Amino acid sequence: MRKLRGTEPTVFERRAPSADAVDHALAGAAHQVFWLDGLTRPAHPELIDQHAADLVIVGAGYTGLWTAIRAKERDPGRRVIILEAGQVGWAASGRNGGFCEASLTHGEENGRSRWPEEYDRLERLGRENLAGIVATVERYAMDVELERTGTLSVATEDHQIAWLAEEAGFLDGPATRELVDSPTFLAGSWDRDDTVLVHPGKLVLELARVATDLGVQIFEQSRVEVVDEGPVVRTARGEVHADHVVLATNVFPSLLRRNRLQTVPVYDYVLVTEPLSTEQKAAIGWQGRQGLADLANHFHYYRLTADDRILFGGYDAVYHWGGRVRSAYEDRPETYVKLAGHLLTTFPQLEGLLISHRWAGAIDTCSRFCAFYGTARQGRVAYAAGFTGLGVGASRFAADVMLDHLAGAPTERTELAMVRERPLPFPPEPLASLGIRLTDWSMHRADRRQGRRNLLLKGLDAVGMGFDS
Ligand SMILES: Cc1cc2nc3c(=O)[nH]c(=O)nc-3n(C[C@H](O)[C@H](O)[C@H](O)COP(=O)(O)OP(=O)(O)OC[C@H]3O[C@@H](n4cnc5c(N)ncnc54)[C@H](O)[C@@H]3O)c2cc1C
């Protein structure tokens, strides 16, 4: 067990399972995204030759697809084209945890500390946005396995109990373990209303289905190389002349130079188990099927799938020198071993459990932990990025902000300080790597020192800058 000076080991280190148990669990795990495994996806053509549109959207993840749907809902006659470099939903939108949260600010603490005056409004807008997502799913009969389970936050260290004690849904240890039985749970708080769970892969493909039903044209394998004056959006083999452009490119290099240092890619890792047997389910409870999250700086998120597998992700947040997005970064054996060990520590009743899938994805981390927005080219190009691991719900709000911006008249959304302000950029290399490593080390240390933050973390808190996944 690695011990930092002046620190105590975490519960995952104190109660680590044997190396053999971890190896056994991981032995047959395919390096494949569970959510996309076996889904039928309609093919979309590549963009070739010249086209014209009222609105061109770059990127076919949640942000791009919600923008297309919201644009068509506002004005059904609008000609909308989406250009996607790979396939619809192959990136973060097809491989996330499926926690669809009301929060637009990466949680209340982050939002309230940055925008105390408008936080109540942000909370209301976030809840309206979540209700809008649920209503859309119902309106278009989208098969996305939506479950209104809420989230159960759990304390796994003594010092974390106080962090939950003030919350309305506070549960002591026995009451928490009554809901989900883990010996690591010391307290909990169940927020029933502000999170729904979805099947991320089905959500992104269903959004594409609805968009095409509304008349949106989607082109795949059509990487946009440049947005020229006009605006004209160019790929290797085609171009679109448009009135307006939306950039929904998330963690990938921004087509606008001004945004290149606004986000860094941080790799997040996920495991999915084989379906639990009836006996295994009985051993852990979890009848309410809540989304779970523990509370350390390096936290885990976990949930059940429709066929009762456990998805278990998070903890390591890995940045690579140079800030590139590369598939080679997605296989990181030491992280999968760590995650599998933490899963078995959480549910020792499940020893012998097998993991079927392992994968990773890049998170578009920005220094304020929630999306930023803006326009370029005399207001004809709009962008949103920087969801920092909480974009399943917030991407729909971002779509509305971008359409408001392109429409040109101020709205409640565009007047928000959260929308008008830009986050501090990350420094270029080598400072980015150095700063992120030091911050990550400090966060590990805080998790082992009853949550106490060192001078670096306090300094970053004071200037409103941080690093998270
Ligand atoms: C492992 C993991 C777990 C997560 N868990 C959660 C969770 O539980 N809850 C939550 O709220 N959020 C979660 N997130 C974050 C969430 O998935 C993202 O915030 C969200 O999917 C962002 O959607 P997007 O459309 O902006 O980006 P993406 O899904 O990344 O889509 C962007 C698209 O743009 C395309 N593109 C980029 N550049 C170009 C170009 N030049 N030309 C054409 N196309 C281009 C890409 O190919 C890509 O398809 C998680 C992320 C990861 C990686």
Question: What percent of the chain is modeled with pLDDT above 90?
Answer: 84
β-partners of residue 342 are none
Local confidence band at 433 (pLDDT 50, 70, 90 cut-offs): confident
Phi, psi for residue 65 in degrees, rounded to 5: -70, -40
- Indicate which atom in ligand 1 lies nearest the CA of residue 200: 17
Label residue 451 exposed, middle or buried (CB < 10 Å: 0-12, 13-18, 19+): middle
Q: Is the pLDDT of residue 468 over 90?
A: no
Q: Is the dihedral of CA 97, 252, 82, 327 positive or negative?
A: negative
- Nearest protein CA to atom 2 of ligand 1, as residue: 96
- Nearest protein CA to atom 10 of ligand 1, as residue: 390
pLDDT at 1: 44
- Nearest protein CA to atom 33 of ligand 1, as residue: 59
Tell how far the Cα of 330 is from the centroid of ligand 1, in angstroms.
15
CA nearest neighbour of 248 among 214, 209, 207: 207
Interval 376-406: pLDDT, tens: 999 999 999 999 999 999 999 999 999 999 9
Between CA 313 and CA 99 the distance in angstroms is: 12
* Ligand 1 surroundings by CB, under 6 angstroms: 58-64, 83-86, 90-93, 95-99, 101, 223-224, 248-252, 255, 268, 270, 313, 361-363, 387, 389-393, 395
CA nearest neighbour of 320 among 262, 367, 267, 368: 267
Label residue 219 exposed, middle or buried (CB < 10 Å: 0-12, 13-18, 19+): buried
pTM: 0.96
- The average confidence (pLDDT) of the chain is 94
Q: How far is CA 351 from CA 19, 283, 339, 345, 404, in A?
A: 12, 11, 14, 9, 52
Buried residues in 399-425 as b, exposed as e (16+ CB within 10 A):
bbbbbbbbeeeeeebbebebbeeebeb
Tell me the mean pLDDT in the region 185-201: 97
Between CA 115 and CA 112 the distance in angstroms is: 5
Tell how far the Cα of 92 is from the centroid of ligand 1, in angstroms.
3
Are 245 and 233 a contacting pair, CB within 8 Å? yes
Which tokens hold the place of 435? 């700063």
- Indicate which atom in ligand 1 lies nearest the CA of residue 391: 19
Tell me the mean pLDDT in the region 239-258: 96
Ligand 1 pocket check: which of 36, 65, 250, 269 to mutate, most ligand atoms within 8 Å of Cβ?
250
CA nearest neighbour of 363 among 322, 323, 312, 305: 323
Interval 12-58: pLDDT, tens: 999 999 999 999 999 999 999 999 999 999 999 999 999 999 999 99
C-alpha torsion 295→448→359→109, nearest 10:
30
Q: Is the pLDDT of residue 275 over 80?
A: yes
DSSP 87: S
